[in-house]
Amino acid sequence: MNIKTAGEFTTIHRDDGKVVISSTMVYDHIGKHGELGAGSIFSGGITPEMINDFLIGADIPKTGGGIPANFPGGGYLLVAPFESAMKLQDAVVKEGAKEDFDPKQKKMVPVPIAEVHTSQPMEDFATDETTVLVFPYDPNRSSPAQNDFIQSDPELSVALDGGTLYALATAFPGGFKVDGQEVPKATSWGGIENPTWAVIIPDSPLANPVTERWNRLAGL
């Protein structure tokens, strides 16, 4: 097993024959899970090296999916079905944005989503569970540069043709399911008009009923 880096791309070559590819774009996206408003956030920090080391020996299903990880520190589970989020203390809805991959633009873009602000403390959302998402490589969900990189590398192109090439999609605190439901891509959250999922903002001053009333009076 070994890890190779060439420019913006990293490949993890495993003893079972599977190869996992990632990129600076994906690592940067995962790094946003340390910022409030991006979704669930890591409390102990997360680095590309931690993810790569995990993927060397992780149990990757043939069809891919969410793989339970054990990154130190865990984090805070800050995504939920909209109905569940609105049951939180002093829940208030605001417009936010979450990063997701756009297959048409072939890059990460901000997606409008609902933020549910609550007065509940961050500690209420603590979790020891962390998840890494890995899927069979799909050229249609990848950038042209990454596809070209794979085609230019004989080992990677053979792995793609043989169904043993996988792509790191993301990593986050919490499980692949919340309240018994698989967490969909942000593009399927219904936006702010018809939200079905939301990002939770704990300890929010916007969730204060008095503040909210004054904001309304001020037209904010």
Q: For residue 199, which phi and psi values (nearest 5 degrees)?
A: -90, 135
φ, ψ at 56 (rounded to 5°):
-60, -40
Q: What was the pLDDT predicted at 67?
A: 95
Closest CA to 206 of 122, 117, 121, 125: 117
What are the DSSP calls for 49-68, one per residue? Answer: HHHHHHHHH----TT-EEEE
Q: What is the pLDDT of residue 219?
A: 55
pLDDT category of residue 198 using cuts at 50, 70 and 90: very high
- pLDDT of residue 215 exceeding 60, the answer is no
Can you read off the two tokens belonging to residue 114? 């609902």
Q: How far is CA 61 from CA 12, 131, 133, 134, in A?
A: 16, 14, 11, 9
Q: 15, 17, 130: which is closest to 67 by C-alpha?
A: 130
75-104 pLDDT, tens digit per residue, is 999 999 999 999 999 999 999 999 888 888
In which residue are the tokens 């079972």 written?
16
CA distances from 110 to 38, 101, 133, 135, 186 (A): 10, 9, 20, 22, 9
DSSP 8-state symbol, 91: -
What contacts 111, CB < 8 A, 6 or more positions away?
97, 98, 99, 100, 186, 187, 189, 191
**Cα 67 to Cα 168: distance, rounded to the nearest angstrom:** 11
**Would you state the structure tokens that stand for residue 203, as one six-digit string?**
């300890």
Across the beta sheet with 79-81, the strand order is 79-81, 197-201, 107-117, 92-102
The per-residue pLDDT for 32 is 83
pLDDT at res. 107: 81
Tokens representing 214? Answer: 């004054």
* pLDDT band at residue 35 under the 50/70/90 scheme: confident
pLDDT tens for 137-164 read 999 989 999 999 999 999 999 999 999 9
Cα-based distances in Å from 42 to 35, 60, 67, 149, 171: 9, 22, 16, 31, 10
Show me where the domains of the chain are located. Answer: 2-218
In 3D space, the residue among 70, 63, 44, 52 whose CA is nearest the CA of residue 13 turns out to be 52
Residue 106 has pLDDT above 80, yes or no: no
Which residues, other chains included, contact 165 with Cβ-Cβ below 8 Å and sequence gap of 6+?
18, 19, 21, 136, 137, 150, 156, 159
